[in-house]
Structure 1
């Protein structure tokens, strides 16, 4: 069978191919390193924001897969740079002849598979952030008052830090705090009639107020922050509760976190796409360089033209040959039978 996609490579094109592969390999190593940084940064962000993301959300699988794909791309780039540079020297290339085939196989199967999987996850998993943040933030608001409950002691501190750092309030706005009891029971006076009336008026026995925690206030505003009686139009005559002039963060944390995490995943997806393209070019170039040098006995400046190709025959025949060769290699060689002894010759009677 004829080789698949053959290319005739004279001396100068072979040298230019090796030099171009050296540059592309270093670009691939750089792209793999940047992919590692992007995926690591996203993983750290998810570690900090894990409290506000539902445990069932599959989004953390994206940076974990991208981290492995970036490591494989970095290794492929470094290996390709070493092989392409060694191919320009006939004395340095022989040790690489046995390394190129495993490098091409690992880069294609493991590296290409991980990059393709990570690219697919960047298209699918960001959609799960919406529901994951909805459930996580809802639980965070509900546990804000549980400062003495094991497992939720840090919920108040984490929610306050989130609202102050990301300039947000509530899940979708400051009115979300009106529907949860965010004041701890230890600060409620059971002898106060107003407290008793509010608890008894709620079906679930919660103490609900039309106020927000201090972390919802914008400290850069010149006006004093309004935290309580926000729905009473007569409590603050100089402020209209229907207008955004309460000096509170206008955006909800769901919108802010969704945009932040989707932006990071979009950046990571762009890096994965560039890395995937560079890895495909490097692997193709290494294959053509390998097959071209094999035809010259590993000497790049050998006399005459040589031919580079992807497969020596059709893909089906190549796989079949590799399978048969693997089976033959594992089949034990038959033991050699000892030579049969010649039967003794009868002594002939001597002629008289």
Structure 2
């Protein structure tokens, strides 16, 4: 029994074709929207690529743009087919192409669904990329003269001021890295040399943070050096007082920012997937109803359209049998290959090649 069978008159078939033509052109616009979203996400990631490690998250914008380009091509072809699909003579020209088009569009809708799920599921991958990237960037913060790293100080300072964050997970992360270059340290001072010697790796570590960690909304002048030393500042206790430093880590700030963008894009892609699925359903109804009209021979008569001619189980069984028969035919062709020559004896029986006596030259 056919699945979701609907009866169409000639007028209804014409209206369906016109509606599908319009929906396909709307889908071309949605494809352009997908390309734009992919470009926007790519630019946002590229702007802070030095703060991220190389992970799969960089492939998401490219996938969105590829899916958007495919949507433009598929729906442009679909619009051309549907505008002529209600006419029997024109339908004959597209008949052989319509079924591959439906199968290809069906696969494309799954790619759209996968893209929507990917956008929502990239939070963990994004968090790992940001965590490793920020950790490496903080280690190179002081290398303002090193080629390829001289821009990292500026990038991190802008990031911390723009997103109101400090460090990787918090301002304490700056206590574990040397963020002041040796060229700005007075090596004649005993305090500096003692700090360098006290560290196994010879780093100048201190309980201080860069100026960009300062909270601009705090009424007190920024305490960015000796943050944990209560005696170094008047009326100060770092355990109880509200520090005038940004408390949130930059990893969490960037993660929330990119998660919001990717969740919004994922929701848009999911809506486009539902829209493409409705267009595909309409094209399938148009195809089956027009094929039934051609079988009846009366172009003015009513015809039935359906999604599947048989039930889901019967359709799956038929497709499986087709694949199995193709495999048997391929195996039979190999068995009947005339190019395979088996040596035979004088009596016409296969000769045991391995048991032949080899004549070696003297």
Secondary structure at the aligned position of 2:232 is classed as coil
| Structure 2 equivalent of residue 160 of structure 1 | 157
| Structure 2 equivalent of residue 104 of structure 1 | 102
Match of 1:63 among 55, 61, 64: 61
Q: Does 1:288 align with 2:288?
A: no
Q: Does 1:148 align with 2:153?
A: no
Secondary structure at the aligned position of 2:304 is classed as strand
Shift of 1:304: 0.9
TM-score, normalised relative to structure 1: 0.79
Match of 1:137 among 130, 134, 137: 134
Relative to 1, partners in 2 of residues 1:82 and 1:322: Cα closer, same or farther, differing over 3 Å? farther
**Would the aligned equivalents of 1:122 and 1:269 in 2 still touch at CA under 8 Å?**
yes
Cα RMSD between the aligned structures?
Answer: 3.3
Shift of 1:321: 6.8
Relative to 1, partners in 2 of residues 1:10 and 1:318: Cα closer, same or farther, differing over 3 Å? farther
Q: Point out which structure has higher relative CO (alpha carbons under 8 A, 6+ apart).
A: 1
Relative to 1, partners in 2 of residues 1:190 and 1:114: Cα closer, same or farther, differing over 3 Å? same
Match of 1:211 among 208, 213, 222: 208
Shift of 1:88: 5.1
| Structure 1 equivalent of residue 125 of structure 2 | 128
**Would the aligned equivalents of 1:168 and 1:252 in 2 still touch at CA under 8 Å?**
yes
For 2:95 and 2:324, how far apart are their aligned partners in 1? 21
Shifted more, 91-100 versus 61-70: the winner is: 91-100
Secondary structure at the aligned position of 2:7 is classed as strand
Shift of 1:268: 1.7
For 1:287 and 1:178, how far apart are their aligned partners in 2? 64
Secondary structure at the aligned position of 2:57 is classed as coil
Shift of 1:100: 3.1
| Structure 1 equivalent of residue 43 of structure 2 | 44
Flag structure 2 segments of 5+ consecutive residues without an equivalent: 334-362
Q: Does 1:275 align with 2:277?
A: no
TM-score, normalised relative to structure 2: 0.77
CA-to-aligned-CA distance 1:22-80 (integer Å, 9 cap, x gap)? 3433443343333322232222222122222222x322233322222222223333333
**Would the aligned equivalents of 2:161 and 2:213 in 1 still touch at CA under 8 Å?**
yes
**Would the aligned equivalents of 1:28 and 1:73 in 2 still touch at CA under 8 Å?**
yes
**Would the aligned equivalents of 1:21 and 1:285 in 2 still touch at CA under 8 Å?**
yes
Q: Does 1:232 align with 2:229?
A: yes
Alignment length (residue pairs): 325
CA-to-aligned-CA distance 1:240-275 (integer Å, 9 cap, x gap)? 423564432231101101111111121121122112
Give runs of aligned pairs for residues 336-351 of structure 1, distance below 5 A. none
Shift of 1:126: 1.9
For 1:218 and 1:79, how far apart are their aligned partners in 2? 56
Match of 1:74 among 55, 72, 75: 72
Shift of 1:93: 5.7
Shift of 1:187: 0.9
| Structure 1 equivalent of residue 342 of structure 2 | none
